[in-house]
Amino acid sequence: MLDTRELGRRPGSQQQLTLSVPAPPDLGIEVLKVPEGAPVELDLRLEAVMEGVLVTGTAKAVLEGECVRCLEEIDDEIDVRFQELFVYDDLRDKDADDEDNGVSNLQDDLLDLEPLLRDAVVLALPFQPLCQDDCPGLCTECGARLADDPDHQHEEAIDPRWAGLTALDKLDKMDSESSEN
């Protein structure tokens, strides 16, 4: 929660802040996220406007996760920009459901950055994170990591419709071996 009382509800007044806050739990998606408690560096500008406080800023944090193709660990950083208007609680429409119309509110001149930060970070994450853009993934037959062994191959699979002939081929070889002896 940030205190906006210093702005004094005077349109045009502004405040610059640089903060380091611990990351809230579940800041990310299932396969890529900011570790809980990791420092999130915030660079903020709070501006008083007629309706409330306009928050503009950036957030930087480390990311941990795994590649969706090869399951290799990913260590990366994220740098996101965001902007949100927080409406003064005495100016908001009391009959409107603010969660449904997407309006953020100040509560006693305090603003909660967590929902804004969560939205900005989660929306900036890749839907399917990769360890490298051309990650070949895993072998579908044995699970070997194809980036480690690019020439990885298996014997040609036998079509199950012809598998019965394999048994006949074995019988034929056994017959030829016994006739030679």
**Predicted local distance difference test score (pLDDT) of residue 102:** 64
Q: How many angstroms separate the CA atoms of 153 and 148, rounded?
A: 13
**Predicted local distance difference test score (pLDDT) of residue 98:** 47
Q: How many angstroms separate the CA atoms of 67 and 116, rounded?
A: 26
Domain boundaries, the chain: 2-124
**Predicted local distance difference test score (pLDDT) of residue 12:** 80
Query: DSSP letter string over 48-111?
Result: E-SSEEEEEEEEEEEEEEE-TTT--EEEEEEEEEEEEEEEPTTTS-TTS-HHHHT-EE-BTTEE
The pairing of beta strand 73-87 with beta strand 104-105: parallel
Residue 28 burial (CB count, 10 A)? 21
Strand partners, 17: 44
**Predicted local distance difference test score (pLDDT) of residue 83:** 92
**Closest to 48 measured CA to CA, from 94, 105, 87:** 87
Model pTM?
A: 0.68
Q: How many angstroms separate the CA atoms of 98 and 86, rounded?
A: 11
Which residues, 6+ apart, have CB-to-CB distance to 21 below 8 Å? 39, 40, 42, 113
* 42 CB burial (10 A radius; 0-12, 13-18, 19+): buried
Give, for all 181 residues of the chain, the pLDDT tens digit: 777 777 777 788 888 989 999 998 888 888 899 999 999 999 999 898 888 888 999 999 999 999 888 888 989 899 999 998 888 777 655 545 545 456 777 777 678 888 889 899 999 998 889 888 888 888 877 777 887 877 777 777 777 777 777 777 777 777 777 766 6
